[in-house]
Amino acid sequence: MITIKEAKTKKELTDYIKFPFSLYKDNPYWVPPIIADELESFDKTKNPAFDNAEAYFYLAYKDNKIVGRITAIINWAEVNNQHKRKVRFGWFDVIDDIEVTKALLEKVYELGRKHNLEHAEGPMGFSNLDKVGVLTEGFDQVGTMITWYNNPYYVTHFEQLGFQIEKEYIESIFPFSNVKPEFFLKAQALIKKRYELRALNFTKTKDIMPHVDKMFDLFNESYAKLASFVAISDVQKEYFKKKYISFINPEYIKFVVDKDDNLVAFSIVMPSFTEALQKAKGKLFPFGFIHLLRARKKSKDVVFYLIGVHPDYQNKGVTAIIFDEYYKTFSEKGIKNCIRTPELAENTAIHLLWKNFDPKIHCQRKTYLKYL
C-alpha cells in the first residue's frame, strides 16, 4: 500500500531532501545538494519565492519506507500576471514504480483543481533561477549543481500517465581550446567604439554589489519575451544577492556598460562544484566547505550560468566583448572545459552565441504537461 504524507517539520523536510541520497547512492553521475541549503530554500520564512508562490512537499511511503517525493507549486505571479493557469511540480524523485508516481502526481492535480487551474507542468522550481526539466538524454553524464539528475524510467512514467512534452532544453560542453580569439577580438574592439561601450571587470565582491540590482533588472528585460519567463521581484533580488553573489568568483562576473554607465550586458560564470559536492555528500561540515572552497579557487571547469543583453543591444555583437574578457580570465586560470546550463531549445539566439566554439550537446531535458 502506498501512503502519501506532507512533509512539514524540519525532520520530515530533511527526510524529503535525503531521499535522493539513497536512491542514487551508487550513481557516479548524480550531484548531491547541500542539505542545509535545500532546507533554507524550503523555508517559507526565508525564501522570498514564497511571497508569490505556495508549495507543498510530499513523501510517498511503501511498507513504511520512503519511495518517492514531489513538490506541488503554484507561482501566483505566473497565474495572475501571465494568466497561465498552471500548477507546477518539482523536486520529483521516485523508485521505478508507476503507482508511486501516480500517487504523488495526484497531490499536484488536487492543488491545481482546488484553484481551478488548467494544467500541471514539471519538473520545475519556484522561479526561472531554479532547476528545471527531467533528464531525457545524457544519463551517463555527470550533472552540475544547478541541474537535476534522474533515472531513464521517469520519462516512461510521464508518458504512460498521459503527459505530453511542453518545453525542451539542451546542455552542451566545449573545451576551452576550441575558443579562438580571432572570432571576437577584432569585433569587440569595433563594437566598443561604435556604441561607446566598455567592459567592467572585478577582483572584489564588494565592488560588484552596487551593480547587482541593475543586473537583475537587465535579466528581467533580457528574458521577458520567453514564454516560460517569470520576472525576479525586488525581494528576490536581495535574497539572491546575499545568498549567491558573494560565493561566485568576482572575476567570473562580467558587465558591459555604455558611456553613461548604464548596464547593457552581463554574464555570470561559476567554477564547477560538481566534484566538490560529490565529496561533501550533502554536508558543509566538517570537511564539505573545504572541498567547495578548493573548487572555487582551483576548478579547471567552468559553468556558464547566466548571460543577458539589453533588448536594444541584442544582435549587435555585444557578447564579443564578454567573450574577450572571459578569454583573458580563463587563459590566466588555465580553464579546460566550458559547460552550458540548460537553455531552451527554442532560444536560437542564445545558441548562435556559441557556434564558433563547436559545442557538443551532452544532455537534453524536458518539462512535461498534463491537462487537469
Instruction: Note every long-range contact of 203-211, with CB atoms under 8 Å and residues 24 or more positions apart, other chains counting.
Output: 203/250, 203/251, 204/250, 205/245, 205/246, 205/248, 205/250, 207/250, 208/245, 208/250, 208/253, 209/241, 209/245, 211/255, 211/263
Q: What cell was used for 16?
A: 524529503
Q: Output the pLDDT for position 228.
A: 65
> Predicted confidence band at 42 (pLDDT cuts at 50, 70, 90)?
very high
pTM of the model: 0.94
pLDDT at 267 over 90: yes
Indicate the DSSP class of residue 50.
G
> Predicted confidence band at 233 (pLDDT cuts at 50, 70, 90)?
confident
Least confident piece of the model among 231-235, 264-268, 293-297: 231-235
C-alpha closest to that of 70 among 103, 27, 99: 103
φ, ψ for residue 90, nearest 5 deg: -155, -175
List the alpha helices (DSSP H) in 128-282.
Answer: 153-160, 185-195, 205-223, 234-243, 274-280
Q: Output the pLDDT for position 126.
A: 93
- 220 exposure class (CB count in 10 Å sphere: 0-12, 13-18, 19+): middle
What percent of the chain has pLDDT above 90? 88
pLDDT at 15 over 80: yes
Average pLDDT over residues 52-57: 96
226-248 CB burial, b ≥16 within 10 A, e <16: eebbbbbbeebbebbbeeebeeb
pLDDT at 162 over 90: yes
Domain 2-171: give its CATH code. 3.40.630.30
Q: Output the pLDDT for position 225.
A: 78
Domain edges within the chain: 2-171, 175-364
pLDDT at 290 over 90: yes
Q: Output the pLDDT for position 353.
A: 87
Q: What cell was used for 126?
A: 519556484
How far CA 364 is from CA of 162, 167, 203, 324, in Å, comes to 21, 11, 35, 28
Indicate the DSSP class of residue 38.
H
Q: What cell was used for 71?
A: 513538490
132-159 CB burial, b ≥16 within 10 A, e <16: bbbbbbbeeebbbbbbbbbbeebbebbe
Q: Output the pLDDT for position 29.
A: 98
Amino acid at the residue 67:
V
Domain 175-364: give its CATH code. 3.40.630.30
pLDDT at 371 over 70: yes
Whole-angstrom distance, CA of residue 41 vs CA of residue 288: 19
pLDDT at 322 over 90: yes
Q: What cell was used for 164?
A: 505530453
Beta bridge partners of 75: 53
C-alpha closest to that of 105 among 146, 160, 149, 64: 160
Asked whether the domain spanning 175-364 has the same topology as the one spanning 2-171, the reply is yes
pLDDT at 227 over 70: no
Q: Output the pLDDT for position 349.
A: 83
> Predicted confidence band at 128 (pLDDT cuts at 50, 70, 90)?
confident
pLDDT at 224 over 90: no
